[in-house]
Structure 1
Amino acid sequence: MDFTECYRDTVSSVAAAARSGCRKRVRRMINRGFSVDCRDNRGWNALHEAAAAGSKECVQEILSAAGGSSRGCRAYVNSLTHEGESACYLAAQRGHLAVVKHLLKAHADMNQLTNDLSCPLYAAVDGGHKEVVALLVSKGAEVNRTHTASCWTCLHQAAYKGQSEIVQILVSVCDLEVLDDHRISPLFVAAQYGQQDCLQILVNTGANVNAQAADLATPLLIASQEGHETCVKFLLDHGADPNTACSRDWPQLAIHAAAEFGHISILKRLIAVTDRVCDRGDGMVSPLYVAINGQQCKSIEILLEEGFSPDAQDCTNILGVSSPLSYALSRSSNKPCSEPVRLLIAAGARLCEKVWICAMATDRSELLQLILDHRRIPQPETLTSDCPEHQCRGRTLLRLEELRGLLCVALNQTRFAACWLPLLLRAGLEPSLLLQPDMLEQADSEALNYLLGFVNWSILSPSLKHILDRRQAEKSWDPSSHFGSIPALSHLCRLKVRAVLGPGVLMRTAVVQQLPVPSPLHGFLQFKDISDAFFTHSSPSPALHQIQEYQSTHQHRHVL
């Protein structure tokens, strides 16, 4: 290498002339004795500059000057820059077809790899130079060699870039099922990046639409995840299986991907073709779970409308959650009335103990109010078991075990009674169910007075009266003044009306307006004269903390 020449613009004189594409100037420099092999700090010589500039004439002049023996010319034409780039690579990368043709005639190595494992064909594909690709393929370039750190082939790259005309050239000579380091095929790449034209060519040529990557993902799954609706439709129309398990952890399907990322049109199409065993089957995971995980309310709504169960299967062993509703509550711990929670409760999701804890083991009443807006409290005498007939009569009616769970949590959370007691009694809960020793022992004065206002306090059992007398003596209960006397006839009458109509009918319907009594009594019959208990609000606790705190102090209550 000649270090004596003074470089101009970081390159030698011949290289600078070649970069400008001036053949006469290149010839003049060569005739004056300037070397064609002087290199700059990148390792580029005059041939590299001429090839990159796309000057066929300059390439011819430089190769003639570097001639001599055929062997010497071949070594020069294949000289590499510091990045391992040959003149053929630089010309192909920039789409200079005439230069590539001339370099190939001069015995350029079209399969020479650069330092980053690229080659002239891969560079031409990446740049979308169809004519150069066709030339190199016709000359026998290696088409299935892997390039880059991800081990992609030229067909992978063409599919990724959406170069459909180049894909059409390559499919006739490439291995359609060649895999990269994640065992991803070119068809998978086309589906992942929404390159429908490339996808169609690959499928029509015979590529496998159900090929699975190393993590078992399929082209249908990845297209559903990325929201490429036309690709999803094409894959389904050409044999893609929507029921192929696409994960080693649990049987994830394409419908899960669409639900989690909120691609509604794709979700609707997959609902129609996906086996419903994923909704309730053991060892499966309902799409509802992943829609909740992604906070995709529209996905949740569509799945429920299409008949997916709001209860789904217990996924404790797979996801660590027992139901979609408990998962939705844990995902929105500081906002228990989130839209996913509302949708599930409105759809009749089963209310387990954890749900009641989130609703009642707090000084916030929003979640309990939401539940009561969608669910009716039955009277104990109407329920003996959760029979199918009961469930058919109305999904809005609390089931027996749900009512038991409500009461069990209530009797363990008397410190929050001022929050949940008014809501429950006005929603039709039979107050006698709460006349338990623990309630009378632990409820504060306001909550206890409120509860006693809904009953005939004069006929309480001796054991309960003893608790009240003791609390009054200890000054831990400040009873309302009228509790010391016999209940008024008007109060006894409204208790009778409540018993005859049923508390749910009396408190939650307009039937009281139809009774033959003066209108000022309507509010009295609905106990609106009893002042609500008052609770000072504090910052709400996360649902998980509420559950853990409840479980650490829980005592089982025999109710109903």
Structure 2
Amino acid sequence: MSFKKETPLANAVFWAARKGNLALLQLLLNSGRVDADCRDSYGTTALMVASYSGHYECVKELIMQGADINYQRETGSTALFFASQQGHRDVVKLLFEFGASTEFQTKDGGTALTVASQYGHSKVVDTLLKNGANVHDQLNDGATSLFLAAQEGHVTVIRQLLSSGAKVNQAREDGTAPLWMAAQMGHSEAVKVLLLRGADRDADRKDGSTALFKAALKGHNSVIEELLKFSPSLGLLKNGSTALHAAVVGGNLRTILLLLGASADPTLANKNNELPADLTKSDRILKLLHPNISNGNS
């Protein structure tokens, strides 16, 4: 957390809040020479600093001294946002006791729930949801809390959000769904949970690629195994290629074997009329695609 310090007294307040030095903080605030809402030129307050650092007693003292709980720094972040980001559930609960709101957004659309989901703080997510956080919160690019949890592979948070009504197939503006992102990142458990909860196995991004295509390209075999249980498309996709083409480009032998074992067709050409075998010079891969294919007659 970055902030600019101002006056010497404000410097001391920020230092006490960051270090959790309650005695010094009380001394400074009781002196009447510095306000509980002193802030730097970014709008960072001592309450934000204490909340970020997880210093419960300092947070409480600042609130009792009149600190504005819902004040937003220039980025839009609040004390609740910072406490949620860092996973300080006790501080989050305390802020709620004194009127913290879940509705404030950062400049990129982030909320306390989106950031807690992104960092996998399941206990904080639970507290936020119980205190009115909107499970459908989205960043400016359309990413939901579920999307962010899927991106990082936070399975417990994924389950919590789905149980609270999150839409499993809600995509980002570029068409990327939570399943696609989890697959790209290689989070097989997240992929499994999303599929079991109704994720569209063949949902494609605006570029026409699916979760299976991306996992094949990257060689995420545990992800591919989960996807294949739900019979995803092995044919030509909207991007003009197949998952097998992607696997060959990726060069992972086991990936290719998995797809062939699921009846991927090595004789199916892409939009450029190229067979999967045309995309490699590896003898090992060529022999997998067809025992009679070699570099000499491919």
Name the TM-score, length of structure 1 as normaliser.
0.49
SS of 1:77's equivalent in the other structure is: coil
- Within 1, Cα distance between the matches of 2:89 and 2:225? 38
**Which of the numbers 268, 271, 287 marks the counterpart of 1:278?**
268
2:170 partner letter: V
1:334-413 map, 5 Å: 343-345=294-296, 348=297
1:266 partner letter: T
Matched, 1:301 2:252: no
Q: For residues 134-160 of structure 1, give each alpha carbon's deviation from its aligned partner in whole angstroms, at most 9, with x where no partner exists.
A: 111222212222215x43211111111
Asked if the contact 2:111/2:137 (under 8 Å) is kept, the reply is no
- Within 2, Cα distance between the matches of 1:163 and 1:301? 39
- Within 1, Cα distance between the matches of 2:114 and 2:80? 12
1:88-237 map, 5 Å: 88-147=80-139, 150-172=141-163, 173-237=165-229
Give identity over the alignment, percent.
27
Asked if the contact 1:144/1:178 (under 8 Å) is kept, the reply is no
Q: For residues 454-502 of structure 1, give each alpha carbon's deviation from its aligned partner in whole angstroms, at most 9, with x where no partner exists.
A: xxxxxxxxxxxxxxxxxxxxxxxxxxxxxxxxxxxxxxxxxxxxxxxxx
Gaps spanning 5+ residues in structure 1: where? Answer: 67-72, 311-342, 350-560
Structure 2 equivalent of residue 15 of structure 1: 14
Between Structure 1 and Structure 2, which shows a larger proportion of helix residues?
Answer: 1
Structure 2 equivalent of residue 290 of structure 1: 279
Matched, 1:27 2:39: no
- RMSD between aligned alpha carbons? 2.2
Asked if the contact 2:204/2:211 (under 8 Å) is kept, the reply is yes
1:109 partner letter: S
- Within 2, Cα distance between the matches of 1:236 and 1:15? 54
2:264 partner letter: T
Q: 1:22 to 1:275 in 2, by over 3 A?
A: same
Asked if the contact 1:176/1:186 (under 8 Å) is kept, the reply is yes
Asked if the contact 1:14/1:35 (under 8 Å) is kept, the reply is no
Asked if the contact 1:215/1:246 (under 8 Å) is kept, the reply is no
Q: For residues 371-406 of structure 1, give each alpha carbon's deviation from its aligned partner in whole angstroms, at most 9, with x where no partner exists.
A: xxxxxxxxxxxxxxxxxxxxxxxxxxxxxxxxxxxx
Asked if the contact 1:162/1:190 (under 8 Å) is kept, the reply is yes
Asked if the contact 1:77/1:107 (under 8 Å) is kept, the reply is yes
Matched, 1:51 2:51: yes
Q: For residues 107-157 of structure 1, give each alpha carbon's deviation from its aligned partner in whole angstroms, at most 9, with x where no partner exists.
A: 212131112322111221222211111111222212222215x43211111
SS of 1:169's equivalent in the other structure is: helix
- Within 2, Cα distance between the matches of 1:109 and 1:103? 9
1:89 partner letter: F
Asked if the contact 2:36/2:62 (under 8 Å) is kept, the reply is yes
Asked if the contact 1:261/1:296 (under 8 Å) is kept, the reply is no
Look at both structures and tell me which one has the larger radius of gyration over its CA atoms: 1
2:199 partner letter: A
Asked if the contact 2:114/2:137 (under 8 Å) is kept, the reply is no
**Structure showing greater relative contact order (alpha-carbon pairs closer than 8 Å, 6 or more residues apart):** 2
Asked if the contact 2:114/2:138 (under 8 Å) is kept, the reply is no
**Which of the numbers 254, 260, 264 marks the counterpart of 2:253?**
264
1:262 partner letter: G
Structure 1 equivalent of residue 230 of structure 2: 238
- Within 1, Cα distance between the matches of 2:271 and 2:49? 66
- Within 1, Cα distance between the matches of 2:60 and 2:259? 60
Asked if the contact 2:175/2:204 (under 8 Å) is kept, the reply is yes
Name the TM-score, length of structure 2 as normaliser.
0.89
Structure 1 equivalent of residue 69 of structure 2: 77
1:153 partner letter: T
Q: 1:36 to 1:246 in 2, by over 3 A?
A: same
Shift of 1:276: 5.4
Asked if the contact 2:234/2:244 (under 8 Å) is kept, the reply is yes
What number of residue pairs does the alignment pair up?
A: 290
Q: 1:176 to 1:134 in 2, by over 3 A?
A: same
1:524-539 map, 5 Å: none
Shift of 1:209: 1.1
1:298 partner letter: R
Asked if the contact 1:152/1:179 (under 8 Å) is kept, the reply is yes
- Within 1, Cα distance between the matches of 2:224 and 2:49? 46
Gaps spanning 5+ residues in structure 2: where? Answer: 1-5
1:411-422 map, 5 Å: none
SS of 1:85's equivalent in the other structure is: coil
Asked if the contact 1:104/1:110 (under 8 Å) is kept, the reply is no
Asked if the contact 1:259/1:296 (under 8 Å) is kept, the reply is no
- Within 1, Cα distance between the matches of 2:182 and 2:133? 23
Asked if the contact 1:39/1:45 (under 8 Å) is kept, the reply is yes
SS of 2:143's equivalent in the other structure is: coil
